[in-house]
């Protein structure tokens, strides 16, 4: 009888320690495609730029009007993060989180582990994703086509407002993501992009 009790107690202890070793269950990584996220702006071409930024939340995969629960925001070709401080442009939202970003040169598949030492935030000196053709995510062709095209091999790697991670590849800046866009007939400032979201806090890989 004592032997049976000892065996039962041993099994219970082993099961307890195994449960302790397993740790918390990890959530699945999310792969999402966002189509035609509109990012209008007013002004430009020598005039002061203004207009509300379109805020986006990686966790929900959707646009948001929240003052706090957003990770990145779009206006025209500008992309800001909810971290750092405002550049001071018109209608720019206050930063209330700890988001940051860097640009990885390669493909989405090659971007496997976040290098946290490269992450920067918006500042009074400029946005973490630099503006201008060839400086950040896009290239402007100029005449005769006047197209804004995502620069191949530029993957945006984000720390979210609450310390999680996402990687993003912008596919198109034109409504409907046409294969051969026409700047004169296809409406612009409509982002289509793929992103992968790592929902587990402190986990920096996408595998």
Contacts of 99 (CB under 8 A, 6+ apart): 71, 72, 81, 82, 83, 121, 158, 159, 160, 161
Residue 102 CB neighbour total at 10 angstroms: 18
Q: What's the pTM value of the predicted model, to 2 decimals?
A: 0.86
Phi and psi torsions of 5, nearest 5°: -60, -40
Specify the pLDDT at position 133: 94
Is the confidence at residue 19, as pLDDT, over 50? no
Helices (H), 23-169: none
> Beta-strand (E) ranges in 10-126?
30-38, 42-44, 47-50, 54-57, 62-64, 72-75, 78-81, 100-105
| Residue where the block lists tokens 């986006």 | 56
Is the confidence at residue 167, as pLDDT, over 70? yes
Specify the pLDDT at position 17: 44
Q: What's the CA gap between 96 and 81, in Å, rounded?
A: 10
Specify the pLDDT at position 23: 58
Query: What is the pLDDT confidence band of residue 173, given thresholds at 50, 70 and 90?
Result: very high
Sign of the CA dihedral running 41, 38, 156, 202: positive
Is the confidence at residue 100, as pLDDT, over 70? yes
| Residue where the block lists tokens 């198109």 | 172
Average of per-residue pLDDT across 121-130: 96
| DSSP designation for 52 | -
Q: What's the CA gap between 169 and 207, in Å, rounded?
A: 17
CA 85 to chain centroid, in Å, comes to: 18
Percent of the chain predicted with pLDDT > 70: 88
């Amino acid at each position: 009888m004592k032997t049976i009790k000892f065996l039962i107690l041993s099994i219970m202890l082993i099961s307890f320690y195994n449960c302790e070793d397993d740790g918390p269950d990890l959530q699945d990584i999310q792969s999402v495609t966002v189509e035609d996220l509109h990012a209008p702006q007013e002004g430009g071409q020598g005039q002061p730029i203004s207009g509300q930024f379109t805020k986006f939340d990686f966790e929900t995969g959707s646009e948001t009007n929240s003052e706090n629960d957003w990770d990145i925001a779009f206006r025209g070709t500008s992309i800001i993060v909810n971290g750092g401080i405002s550049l001071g442009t018109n209608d720019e939202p206050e930063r209330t989180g700890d988001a940051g970003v860097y640009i990885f040169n390669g493909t989405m598949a090659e971007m496997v582990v976040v290098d946290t030492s490269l992450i920067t935030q918006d500042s009074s000196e400029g946005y973490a994703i630099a503006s201008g053709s060839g400086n950040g995510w896009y290239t402007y062709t100029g005449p005769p086509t006047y197209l804004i095209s995502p620069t191949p091999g530029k993957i945006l790697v984000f720390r979210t407002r609450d310390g999680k991670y996402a990687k993003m590849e912008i596919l198109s800046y034109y409504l409907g993501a046409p294969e051969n866009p026409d700047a004169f007939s296809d409406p612009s400032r409509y982002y289509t992009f793929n992103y992968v979201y790592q929902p587990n806090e402190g986990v920096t890989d996408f595998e």
